[in-house]
C-alpha cells in the first residue's frame, strides 16, 4: 500500500484499512474512521479489505472527512434514540450535511422542541454504551421483502432504487439492537460521537418532492470535540447577531410591512446605501462603455409570449389587465432591451452594444421561500445586456470577469467560487446552439485561468451561465453575479446587424449582473460587515458631539464645514453625557465620531474617534476634511 506521504506498507492477505492504520501506530489506529482508496470520492469503511496494491489516504476522526463520518454515525444514533422513544417511527433518510446531520422520519405524533432534549438524553445512553458499528452485507431482495412486511416503505423504496448487482449493506450498533440500510462508513463505535447537539425540527418532503408525504426532519450537528462544537455554536450566535433583518431594523435601513409581503421599504439610510451602490456601478459603467436606459414596468403579454417567459417563467410573474389586454409586470429587463436593439438598423460598428438598466423587477416567489432582503418579490438588479458579434464573446466575458473581481474585492469578498451551469431539462434552442454557447463560456474561463466547477443542468432556460459565489466574513456562501449567454432571445426577436460585408448577422446577447440584486446585495453586505459599512457607503459617516452646551457654536461651525464638503454627518448637541453620546454613535455603527469640548473650542480643533474605538487624536478642520475626502475617493 502507498500512503499519503508516499510511504509504502505491506499488509498480510485479507488485511483491512483498520489493520493498515494499526500497523502504522496504535494512536493512529484508534483515531482512524475510514480510508479513501486511490483518491476515490467515496470514503471506504475501516473493514474494507485491501486486496491489491493501492494508494490509501487514512481518514482520521478530526479531519473534515472524518467529521462527515462522525455526523453520519450521529444520525444513526439519533435514529436509534428516536425509535427507542417512539417505536412506531419509520426511518427515511439520515445523511451528514455540511453543517451537521439530519434524519427524516415518518411519525404520526408531532415532535416538539421539548422532545429534543429527550432525544439527546436517549442518544447519550447509546453513546455511553459505546457499542461497535457493525457492517454487514445483505441480500437485497430478501431485505426489500422484509422491509415491505414491516411497513418500512422508505427503506424498501431506497433499496429498490439500488442497482440489482450492487452490494447492499446494513450497519448495526447496540449489539444488533439498531440496524439501518447504509452505505457507510461509520466510526468504529458509538463512543466516538463525543460532541453533538440537536438543533431544530422541520418538515421535509420524502425525496424533496412536494407531491410526496411530509416527513419530520430533526436537524443536529456533531463535532470531533466539545471545543469545536462550542465554537460552531458561537459562530451561529454571531450569525444571528448579524442577521440583516435584525440589523436592518436596528440601524433604520429598511422595514417590511404586511401590506407588501416580501417587498422592502428602504428608509432614508437604507436608500442612501442603495443609491451609493448604484452610483458606484454607474461609475464602472462609464469606464466600461455601458449606456444606461430606463424601460417600462408593464408590458403586453405578447412580449412575454415572444420572449418565451410566458411559457417558461409564468409561475413567477405578476399579471394584470389593461384595457382588456393581458399584461405582465416585468420579471427581467432583457425583452425590453431587445426592443431597443431592434428599434434601429444596427451596424457591426455599434457592437458590442452594452445596455445597463436599474429597472424595478417583480417576481412572484412562493410565500414560504421569501426572506428579508435576500429573497424578495420586488428588486432591482445591476442589470445589463451586451449585444455582441460571436467573435466578440470571449473578450466581453474576459472584461466582465475582471469587472466582477474588482467589485467583489472592493467589498472585501476575497474568496470567489465560479460555477458553469449547463443546459437544463426545460430549455429552448437547438442542441448546436447550446453546445456553441457552453463552449464559448468554457473557452473564456479557461483563457482567463479561472477555476470553476460545472453545474450540469443548472443553466437558465435560454442559455448557459457562469455564476459567481463569494464567501462572507462568517465563511458563508452567497451567490452574487452571473454572466449568461443567450442565443435564444436574438432568434425570437429576429435581431440582426449589418456586418462589414453588408450581410445581416444575428448578434448574441450576454445577460450580466455583478451585485445581482441590489436588495440582496445590501442584505449580504449587512451580514458581511455586521452593519459596519465602509466610509464611502455609510449612510451616516460622522457625528459631531458636544460635551456641554457652551461648545455648540464651534460644533456647529464644524458641522457646517463637513456638510459643505459633502460628508454625511449628523450632530448630537443634546444634554446627554459624553459617554452616552459615544455609546449611541457606536451602536449606530458610525465610522467616525467627533467630540468637541472646551479644549477643542479654544484651539479650533476636533477630537476624532474611529470605529470601533480608535482614538485618532485632535486635528484642525483642513486635516479632517482631507482625511474624509481621501476616504471617500479611495473607497477604503
- The nearer residue to RNA, 204 or 355, going by C-beta atoms, is 204
Cα-Cα-Cα-Cα torsion 445, 449, 450, 456, nearest 10 degrees, comes to: 50
* Pairwise CA distance, residues 563 & 583, whole Å: 23
139 is catalytic: no
With 0-12 / 13-18 / 19 or more C-beta atoms within 10 angstroms meaning exposed / middle / buried, residue 176 is: exposed
* Nearest distance from C-beta of residue 10 to RNA, angstroms: 31
Largest CA distance in the chain: 94
- The nearer residue to RNA, 353 or 544, going by C-beta atoms, is 544
* Residue among 71, 172, 244, 334 flagged as catalytic: 334
- The nearer residue to RNA, 2 or 169, going by C-beta atoms, is 169
Q: Which residues contact 312 (CB under 8 A, 6 or more apart)?
A: 426, 428, 461
* Nearest distance from C-beta of residue 519 to RNA, angstroms: 13
- The nearer residue to RNA, 125 or 245, going by C-beta atoms, is 245
Considering only CA atoms, give the Rg of the chain: 30
* Nearest distance from C-beta of residue 601 to RNA, angstroms: 7
110 is catalytic: no
- The nearer residue to RNA, 391 or 549, going by C-beta atoms, is 549
* Residue among 381, 394, 484, 541 flagged as catalytic: 381
- The nearer residue to RNA, 71 or 423, going by C-beta atoms, is 71
* Residue among 155, 186, 346, 385 flagged as catalytic: 385
* Nearest distance from C-beta of residue 270 to RNA, angstroms: 15
With 0-12 / 13-18 / 19 or more C-beta atoms within 10 angstroms meaning exposed / middle / buried, residue 86 is: middle
Q: How big is the chain, counted in residues?
A: 636
Pair 606, 595: CB distance under 8 Å: yes
- The nearer residue to RNA, 258 or 502, going by C-beta atoms, is 258
Helices 431-447 and 393-410: crossing angle, nearest 10°? 50
* Residue among 465, 512, 568, 589 flagged as catalytic: 465
* Nearest distance from C-beta of residue 478 to RNA, angstroms: 14
* Nearest distance from C-beta of residue 12 to RNA, angstroms: 28
- The nearer residue to RNA, 200 or 286, going by C-beta atoms, is 200
209 is catalytic: no
- The nearer residue to RNA, 345 or 577, going by C-beta atoms, is 577
* Residue among 106, 383, 486, 572 flagged as catalytic: 383
* Pairwise CA distance, residues 274 & 46, whole Å: 55
Residue bearing cell 421599504: 265
User: In 3D, which of 353, 274, 219, 260 has the Cα closest to residue 537?
Assistant: 274
* Nearest distance from C-beta of residue 477 to RNA, angstroms: 11
Q: Which residues of 331-365 are buried (b: 16+ CB within 10 A; e: fewer)?
A: bbbbbbbbebbeeeebeeeebbbbbbbbbebbbbe
* Nearest distance from C-beta of residue 245 to RNA, angstroms: 5
CB atoms within 10 A of CB 549: 10
* Residue among 140, 242, 511, 512 flagged as catalytic: 511
Adjacent-strand bridge partners of 346: 497
* Pairwise CA distance, residues 507 & 386, whole Å: 9
* Nearest distance from C-beta of residue 138 to RNA, angstroms: 9
Residue bearing cell 434601429: 344
* Pairwise CA distance, residues 167 & 145, whole Å: 17
- The nearer residue to RNA, 296 or 620, going by C-beta atoms, is 620
551 is catalytic: no
Strand residue runs (E) in 11-130:
32-37, 55-60, 90-91, 96-97, 100-106
Our separate counts of H helices and E strands in the chain read 20, 33
Pair 165, 137: CB distance under 8 Å: no
* Residue among 155, 363, 512, 528 flagged as catalytic: 363
465 is catalytic: yes
At 524, give phi and psi (nearest 5°): -65, -40
363 is catalytic: yes
CB atoms within 10 A of CB 76: 28
Cell for 85? 422513544
3-class secondary-structure state, position 312? helix
* Nearest distance from C-beta of residue 394 to RNA, angstroms: 32
Q: Secondary structure of 468-485 in the HEC alphabet?
A: EEEECCCCCEEEEEEEEE
334 is catalytic: yes
- Which positions are catalytic? 334, 363, 381, 383, 385, 465, 511
Amino acid at each position: 500500500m502507498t500512503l499519503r506521504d508516499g510511504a509504502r506498507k505491506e499488509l498480510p492477505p485479507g488485511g483491512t484499512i483498520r489493520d493498515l492504520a494499526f500497523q502504522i501506530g496504535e494512536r493512529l489506529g484508534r483515531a482512524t474512521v475510514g480510508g479513501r482508496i486511490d483518491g476515490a470520492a467515496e470514503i471506504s469503511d475501516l473493514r474494507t479489505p485491501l486486496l491489491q496494491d493501492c494508494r490509501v489516504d487514512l481518514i482520521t476522526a478530526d479531519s473534515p472527512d472524518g467529521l462527515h463520518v462522525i455526523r453520519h454515525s450521529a444520525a444513526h444514533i439519533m435514529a436509534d434514540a428516536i425509535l427507542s422513544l417512539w417505536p412506531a417511527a419509520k426511518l427515511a433518510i439520515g445523511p451528514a450535511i455540511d453543517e451537521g446531520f439530519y434524519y427524516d422520519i415518518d411519525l404520526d405524533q408531532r415532535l416538539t422542541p421539548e422532545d429534543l432534549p429527550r432525544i439527546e438524553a436517549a442518544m447519550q445512553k447509546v453513546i455511553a454504551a459505546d457499542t461497535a458499528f457493525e457492517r454487514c452485507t445483505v441480500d437485497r431482495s430478501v431485505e426489500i421483502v422484509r422491509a415491505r412486511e414491516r411497513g418500512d416503505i422508505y427503506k424498501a423504496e431506497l433499496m429498490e432504487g439500488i442497482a440489482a448487482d450492487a452490494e447492499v449493506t446494513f450497519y448495526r450498533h447496540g449489539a444488533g439492537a439498531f440496524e439501518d440500510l447504509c452505505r457507510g462508513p461509520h466510526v468504529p463505535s458509538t463512543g466516538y460521537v463525543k460532541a453533538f447537539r440537536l438543533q431544530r425540527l422541520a418538515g421535509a418532503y420524502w425525496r424533496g418532492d412536494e407531491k410526496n408525504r411530509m416527513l419530520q426532519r430533526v436537524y443536529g450537528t456533531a463535532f470531533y470535540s466539545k471545543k469545536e462544537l462550542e465554537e460552531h455554536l458561537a459562530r451561529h450566535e454571531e450569525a444571528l447577531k448579524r442577521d440583516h433583518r435584525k440589523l436592518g431594523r436596528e440601524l433604520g435601513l429598511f422595514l417590511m410591512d404586511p401590506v407588501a409581503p416580501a417587498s422592502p421599504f428602504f428608509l432614508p439610510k437604507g436608500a442612501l446605501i442603495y443609491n451609493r451602490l448604484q452610483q458606484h456601478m454607474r461609475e464602472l459603467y462609464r469606464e466600461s462603455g455601458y449606456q444606461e436606459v430606463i424601460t417600462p414596468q408593464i408590458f403586453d403579454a405578447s412580449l412575454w409570449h415572444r420572449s418565451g417567459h410566458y411559457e417558461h417563467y409564468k409561475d413567477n410573474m405578476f399579471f394584470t389587465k389593461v384595457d382588456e389586454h393581458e399584461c405582465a409586470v416585468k420579471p427581467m429587463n432583457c425583452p425590453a432591451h431587445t426592443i431597443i436593439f431592434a428599434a434601429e438598423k444596427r451596424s457591426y460598428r455599434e457592437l458590442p452594444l452594452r445596455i445597463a438598466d436599474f429597472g424595478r423587477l417583480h417576481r412572484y416567489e412562493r410565500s414560504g421561500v421569501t426572506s428579508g432582503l435576500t429573497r424578495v418579490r420586488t428588486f432591482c438588479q445591476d442589470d445589463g445586456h451586451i449585444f455582441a458579434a460571436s467573435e466578440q464573446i470571449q473578450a466581453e466575458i474576459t472584461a466582465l470577469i475582471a469587472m466582477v473581481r474588482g467589485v467583489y474585492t472592493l467589498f472585501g469578498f476575497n474568496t470567489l467560487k465560479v460555477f458553469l451551469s449547463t443546459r437544463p431539462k426545460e430549455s429552448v434552442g437547438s442542441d448546436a446552439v447550446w453546445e456553441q454557447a457552453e463552449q464559448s463560456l468554457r473557452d473564456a474561463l479557461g483563457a482567463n485561468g479561472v477555476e470553476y466547477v460545472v453545474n450540469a443542468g443548472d443553466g437558465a432556460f435560454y442559455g448557459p451561465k457562469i455564476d459567481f459565489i463569494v464567501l462572507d466574513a462568517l465563511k458563508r456562501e452567497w451567490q452574487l453575479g452571473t454572466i449568461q449567454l443567450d442565443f435564444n432571445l436574438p432568434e425570437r426577436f429576429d435581431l440582426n446587424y449589418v456586418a462589414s460585408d453588408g450581410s445581416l448577422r444575428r448578434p448574441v446577447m450576454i445577460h450580466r449582473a455583478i451585485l445581482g440584486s441590489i436588495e440582496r446585495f445590501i442584505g449580504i453586505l449587512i451580514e458581511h460587515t455586521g452593519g459596519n459599512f465602509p466610509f464611502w457607503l455609510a449612510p451616516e459617516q460622522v457625528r459631531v458631539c458636544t460635551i456641554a452646551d457652551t461648545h455648540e457654536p464651534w460644533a456647529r461651525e464644524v458641522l457646517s464645514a463637513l456638510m459643505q464638503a459633502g460628508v454625511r454627518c449628523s450632530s448630537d448637541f443634546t444634554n446627554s453625557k459624553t459617554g452616552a453620546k459615544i455609546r449611541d454613535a457606536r451602536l449606530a455603527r458610525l465610522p467616525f465620531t467627533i467630540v468637541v469640548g472646551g479644549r477643542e473650542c479654544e484651539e479650533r480643533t476636533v477630537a476624532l474617534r474611529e470605529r470601533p474605538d480608535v482614538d485618532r487624536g485632535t486635528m484642525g478642520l483642513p486635516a479632517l476634511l482631507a482625511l474624509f475626502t481621501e476616504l471617500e475617493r479611495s473607497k477604503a
